[in-house]
Structure 1
Amino acid sequence: MSTWVTGMGVVAPNGLGADDHWAATLKGRHGISRLSRFDPTGYPAELAGQVLDFDATEHLPKRLLPQTDVSTRFALAAAAWALADAEVDPAELPEYGTGVITSNATGGFEFTHREFRKLWAQGPEFVSVYESFAWFYAVNTGQISIRHGLRGPGSVLVAEQAGGLDAVGHGGAVRNGTPMVVTGGVDSSFDPWGWVSHVSSGRVSRATDPGRAYLPFDVAANGYVPGEGGAILLLEDAESAKARGATGYGEIAGYAATFDPAPGSERPPALRRAIELALADAELRPEQVDVVFADAAGVAELDAIEAAAIRELFGPSGVPVTAPKTMTGRLYSGGGPLDLVAALLAIRDGVIPPTVHTAEPVPEHQLDLVTGDPRHQQLGTALVLARGKWGFNSAVVVRGVTG
């Protein structure tokens, strides 16, 4: 059973909506700047991929604002846009015919830390009753389900940067008889406590120049820039989509996830195995992949591991590789779904977006890295990769559809 992507909603540091984000991405316009939610002076890092043009009052009912964290507001808006993009009216759907499967890596950080401050400074009677769920990783799945009356299968995946692809992979519930699934991931955690959590990873770039802060596969790689936002996709059984006259952006053709061995193990990293399994799920050979959207950690040793997996499977410079997330930062659970949007639009338009800022690729990686300007070529199949801290690896294969 074929699974189509029929709708997309995007909230990204360089654009709201799939069209605006895609236009910015092809122009190489990034959304990385100095943190503005609080004064980052004195912190070891200060750059982030921030969504600066999102006004929740323009996109959500007022009754939802007291209940929701920034990340949930992003998710609700993106889900509504994805449904509208697919020309789906939830009120006309079968009651249990649409599921919601999302990913979130940090929960409602800003909301819950605000309520903690009230608890400590004013007392428990001042804490919002919505704190009971607004902090929770599953809240986006719940709020999307409630807002649109979607009562099909529901779940949440937590796997740091890999979680968004896992959500889409589990959105393959379409294959098991659920006609439609709202899926993807978003994250936001840019209050002071959240920022300390980012920095504590030891992988965040301390550069102050946005053009030199996040340089994956570059000889000057010095860490990554955290970002916020992500994407929500509508997955649909292809036959159902055709029956209602829908057009698919592309097909989710294959998915796999693996877990790295413990540090110090003699076993190799498991990213290559994830790629192999995803290709097998899609019934494809490596030479049938036209472009790879890389995880692009921006940390030298992690970049080397990913480059080795790509090189060993596809051959030295055997497939174009790109990482448009250099324009947004790493969005945690939102990163993989946003790359899926880029991959699907790249196939549609026959153009590979560039890896901006990376200027001197590591020669030993032997990657055909797309840098500078977009590369125009016909594309039929794309591989999207994501890795999360603590060993998560995920891979999704998408391909174009006709009809």
Structure 2
Amino acid sequence: MTVRAVVTGIGVVAPSGIGADAHWKCVLAGENRLGRITLFDPDRYDTTLAGEVSDFDAGRYADNRRTVQTDRWTHLGFAAVRLALADAGLPETAESPYDHAVALASSSGGNLFGQRELQRLWSRPARTVGAYQSIAWFYAASVGQVSIHHQFKGPCGVLVAEAAGGLDSVAHAVRTIRRGTPVALAGATECALSPYALACQLRSGLLSTATDPDRAYRPFDAEAAGYVPGEGGAVFVVEDLDHALDRGAPVIYGEVTGWAATHDARHSGRDGGDPGQYARAMRLALERAGTGPDEVDVVFPDALGVPRYDRTEAAALRTAFGPEPPPVTTQKPLVGRAHQGGSALDVANALLAVRNGLLPPTAGLDQPAAGCELDFVRVPRQRSVNVAMVNARGFDGFNSSVIIRGFPEDARGEAGKG
């Protein structure tokens, strides 16, 4: 029998709030949390808005010895992991270290830490950097630090596919569980908010330069003109279903039943990506989940907010589902695009929608642009949500899709008999 993988813990650290409950309330209320960048002075840059995690105290989630060695991106990860473990009812330190794995995603690494150290290198006579520069910026830093801090010694790895990596990490966690490790951490956090990181994103020409937070990030809208950067994300406890049932996990949010990743295999940024390959990822995920297109209750899209990308995403959905795709909803305009952390946050939204039987409203949308006419969720919809699809695209051609299926509480007994 195929091992089944379920999500038993959610840890959210995002502009929308710290903790899944705070985040979900913000999402349902449609509260815009974008604002002027405070982590540095953005006056010299065309983009001055971002989604930041306000009032975040890293010292609440890791001791000083670890925080001085690491970047804010990893600090956010420490917090998300601790929240996820507490939510799952698991101890902070693994009792059986080799039964616990870490499979997080990354893309830009430790930006703030690296910028500070390079400024120190070039602005002081000593021309030195701190001892931790060699590890704090590294894209695998969060995985390494989390595994050490919590003594998770099972298979550990980092997935790098820009925004698509947040979904790839969940898929990799399920594969790890099916290979015999009963518990795995998955998901991602991000903090691509430093002068250097912002300059790199501006170079792409895809950032919004609007100054009104309520009008700045508008995926699929006729006024869409780029994305707003964000930080934060979500981490999940993904677990072997039998292991979760045996230990009496407090909550089973849902089951990860299918996933797929494809690549455009060409330079596709100028035309907004390859809708064929994107649709192929969706179809493969459905096929592997044993799920028909008509069974999907909601889709959480990548929602870049760049017109050509929005059009190809809408086209991919119609290719995968036919002329009338399922309801579509995105909350990124409330918090910004946090790269791999943003797609992980979409997984959290999908799990909470399934758990609560409630579709959260689409943010940042007034009038759909030509070619983007989809069934957008305009107000919260109370309904049975059994299957959710989460999609993400990473720059340079990455496409990923994950299928989440609900796990009703009354299914615990039947699953245990299996």
What interval of TM-score do these two structures reach, taking the shorter chain for normalisation? over 0.9
- SS of aligned partner of 1:211: coil
Cα distance in 2, alignment partners of residues 32 and 267 from structure 1: 30
169, 174, 178: which is aligned to 1:175?
A: 178
The alpha-carbon deviation at position 395 of structure 1 amounts to 0.4
The alpha-carbon deviation at position 361 of structure 1 amounts to 1.0
CA displacement, residues 172-194 of structure 1 (integer Å, 9 cap, x when unaligned): 11111110101111110212111
For the 8 Å contact 1:51–1:229, the answer to whether it is kept is yes
Corresponding residue for 2:96? 94
Matched, 1:68 2:75: no
Corresponding residue for 2:49? 47
Cα distance in 1, alignment partners of residues 206 and 48 from structure 2: 13
The alpha-carbon deviation at position 123 of structure 1 amounts to 5.2
234, 239, 250: which is aligned to 1:236?
A: 239
373, 376, 382: which is aligned to 2:388?
A: 382
Cα distance in 2, alignment partners of residues 215 and 91 from structure 1: 42
CA displacement, residues 58-100 of structure 1 (integer Å, 9 cap, x when unaligned): 2221221211100000001111111111011154532211110
309, 329, 347: which is aligned to 1:302?
A: 309
Matched, 1:195 2:202: no
Unpaired runs of 5+ residues, structure 2, are 413-418
For the 8 Å contact 1:316–1:367, the answer to whether it is kept is no
Pair 43,291 (structure 1): closer, same or farther in 2 beyond 3 Å? same
Residue type matched to 2:111 in 1?
Answer: F
- TM-score (ref. length: structure 2): 0.93
Corresponding residue for 2:416? none
Unpaired runs of 5+ residues, structure 1, are none
Cα distance in 2, alignment partners of residues 194 and 92 from structure 1: 35
For the 8 Å contact 2:275–2:316, the answer to whether it is kept is no
Matched, 1:254 2:248: no
The alpha-carbon deviation at position 200 of structure 1 amounts to 1.3
For the 8 Å contact 1:269–1:305, the answer to whether it is kept is no
Pair 149,281 (structure 1): closer, same or farther in 2 beyond 3 Å? same
For the 8 Å contact 2:315–2:371, the answer to whether it is kept is no
Matched, 1:285 2:292: yes
Cα distance in 1, alignment partners of residues 66 and 80 from structure 2: 15
CA displacement, residues 122-165 of structure 1 (integer Å, 9 cap, x when unaligned): 25674211111001000000000000000000100111111111
Pair 267,347 (structure 1): closer, same or farther in 2 beyond 3 Å? closer
Residue type matched to 1:293 in 2?
Answer: F
Cα distance in 1, alignment partners of residues 168 and 119 from structure 2: 34
110, 113, 116: which is aligned to 2:112?
A: 110
Corresponding residue for 1:399? 405
For the 8 Å contact 2:102–2:155, the answer to whether it is kept is yes
Give the paired residue count.
402
Matched, 1:311 2:318: yes
Residue type matched to 1:257 in 2?
Answer: A
The alpha-carbon deviation at position 336 of structure 1 amounts to 1.3
- SS of aligned partner of 1:364: coil
The alpha-carbon deviation at position 363 of structure 1 amounts to 4.8
Corresponding residue for 2:415? none
Pair 325,241 (structure 1): closer, same or farther in 2 beyond 3 Å? same
The alpha-carbon deviation at position 318 of structure 1 amounts to 3.3
Cα distance in 1, alignment partners of residues 381 and 41 from structure 2: 39
For the 8 Å contact 2:192–2:229, the answer to whether it is kept is no
Corresponding residue for 2:161? 159
Corresponding residue for 1:130? 132
For the 8 Å contact 1:7–1:233, the answer to whether it is kept is yes
CA displacement, residues 291-313 of structure 1 (integer Å, 9 cap, x when unaligned): 00011110111111110111222
119, 122, 128: which is aligned to 1:120?
A: 122
Pair 112,123 (structure 1): closer, same or farther in 2 beyond 3 Å? farther
Corresponding residue for 2:148? 146
For the 8 Å contact 1:161–1:386, the answer to whether it is kept is yes
Pair 92,58 (structure 1): closer, same or farther in 2 beyond 3 Å? closer
Cα distance in 1, alignment partners of residues 231 and 276 from structure 2: 27
Corresponding residue for 1:15? 17
Of residues 61-70 and 314-323 in structure 1, the stretch that sits farther from structure 2 once superposed is: 314-323
